């Protein structure tokens, strides 16, 4: 695939951050998103590095979810959404007209805020994505399902009851099942939209641990409103407010010496 060498950022909210250019998997360029006439994301530009965890933080309604959902074009299914700007995935704009949205969604998997397994068996949940993308054969299917469940750290808990309904699992297990389901189609990027907001601390810790392991293989973007979580698991951190990118930097820098006053105010809990 063609790697694009980025010219200097266009003016606006660019942040000086030193990326290793060849490691950039996703480049968001001057992204604007409107719901009907309300602009939810304003001129956002940022680069997301391969095999790193990039967190998006900010107060409720700041456009975090809208931004992350733009990366696999999930906003397409909401009527009245308008997108302007570019999101380059390995150098190719996913909003180009000749792009097949199905291909994008296979390359960019997503895990949602509330675990949403289908009312089917555990096996069928993980098999779903594989089956709609062409049935790979029974043996291969079983292997891929096992591997995905192992990658999602769920295999040992469910290997003896793959035929049981996914809805019989606990909340944390359901969320890991959703992760396995997303991994099964072998994406390159996995988006997590507040994956722990409905989980207890123990289940949350497991998911966080898992995300750390997953970055070996995948590029990860996570939206969270839990700042400690962002600090714990991310390599890069984006602070968004009212749809604008306020600051984007290495996570330790954001949490120790943020360059903007408002970032400091937010991460120290003065508002939000």
State which of residues 178, 211, 220, 221 lies at the interface with other proteins (CB under 8 A).
178
Q: Which is nearer to other proteins, 15 or 165 (CB)?
A: 165
State which of residues 15, 32, 133, 197 lies at the interface with other proteins (CB under 8 A).
133
- With binding defined as CB under 8 A, does residue 185 bind other proteins? yes
Q: Which residues sit opposite 111 in a β-bridge?
A: 192
> Pick from 248, 239, 243, 258: which is nearest to 16 by CA?
248
To other proteins, the closest distance from the beta carbon of 171 in angstroms equals: 12
- With binding defined as CB under 8 A, does residue 42 bind other proteins? no
181 φ, ψ to 5°?
-60, -40
Interatomic CA distance for residues 167 and 174, integer angstroms: 7
State which of residues 9, 34, 35, 118 lies at the interface with other proteins (CB under 8 A).
118
- With binding defined as CB under 8 A, does residue 116 bind other proteins? yes
- With binding defined as CB under 8 A, does residue 109 bind other proteins? yes
CB atoms within 10 A of CB 216: 8
- With binding defined as CB under 8 A, does residue 41 bind other proteins? no
- With binding defined as CB under 8 A, does residue 25 bind other proteins? no
**Alpha-carbon torsion (26, 247, 60, 232), positive or negative:** positive
Interatomic CA distance for residues 135 and 145, integer angstroms: 13
- With binding defined as CB under 8 A, does residue 174 bind other proteins? no
Q: Which is nearer to other proteins, 34 or 128 (CB)?
A: 128
Q: Which residues sit opposite 138 in a β-bridge?
A: none
State which of residues 14, 29, 39, 114 lies at the interface with other proteins (CB under 8 A).
114
Burial tier of 261 (Cβ tally within 10 Å: 0-12, 13-18, 19+): exposed
Q: What secondary structure does DSSP assign to 56-69, as a single string?
A: EE-STTSSHHHHHH
Interatomic CA distance for residues 235 and 231, integer angstroms: 8
State which of residues 182, 199, 207, 233 lies at the interface with other proteins (CB under 8 A).
182
Interatomic CA distance for residues 7 and 226, integer angstroms: 34
Per DSSP, 198 falls in state T
- With binding defined as CB under 8 A, does residue 89 bind other proteins? no
- With binding defined as CB under 8 A, does residue 147 bind other proteins? no
Q: Which is nearer to other proteins, 79 or 137 (CB)?
A: 79
Site for other proteins in 188-247 (CB under 8 A): none
**Which residues of this chain interact with other proteins, rule CB under 8 A?**
72, 74, 77, 102-103, 105-106, 109-110, 112, 114, 116-120, 128-129, 131-133, 167, 178, 181-182, 185
């Amino acid at each position: 695939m063609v790697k694009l060498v980025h010219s200097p950022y266009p003016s606006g909210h660019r942040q000086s951050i030193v990326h290793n250019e060849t490691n950039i998997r996703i480049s968001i360029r001057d992204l604007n998103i409107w719901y009907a006439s309300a602009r939810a994301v304003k001129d956002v530009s940022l680069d997301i590095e391969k095999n790193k965890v990039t967190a998006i933080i900010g107060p409720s309604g700041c456009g975090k979810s809208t931004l992350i959902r733009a990366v696999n074009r999930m906003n397409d299914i909401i009527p009245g959404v308008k997108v302007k700007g570019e999101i380059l995935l390995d150098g190719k704009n996913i909003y180009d007209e000749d792009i097949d949205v199905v291909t994008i969604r296979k390359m960019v998997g997503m895990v949602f805020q509330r675990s949403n397994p289908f009312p089917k068996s555990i096996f069928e949940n993980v098999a779903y994505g594989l089956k709609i993308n062409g049935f790979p054969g029974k043996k291969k299917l079983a292997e891929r399902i096992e591997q995905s469940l192992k990658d999602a750290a769920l295999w040992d808990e469910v290997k003896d009851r793959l035929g049981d309904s996914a809805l019989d699992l606990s909340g944390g297990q359901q969320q890991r099942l959703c992760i396995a389901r997303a991994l099964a189609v072998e994406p390159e990027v996995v988006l997590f939209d507040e994956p722990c907001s409905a989980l207890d601390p123990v289940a949350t810790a497991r998911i966080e641990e898992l995300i750390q392991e997953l970055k070996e293989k995948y590029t990860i973007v996570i939206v969270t409103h839990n700042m400690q979580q962002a600090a714990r698991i991310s390599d890069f951190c984006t602070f968004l407010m009212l749809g604008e990118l306020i600051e984007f930097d290495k996570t330790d820098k954001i949490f120790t010496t943020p360059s903007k006053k408002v970032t400091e105010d937010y991460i120290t809990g003065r508002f939000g």
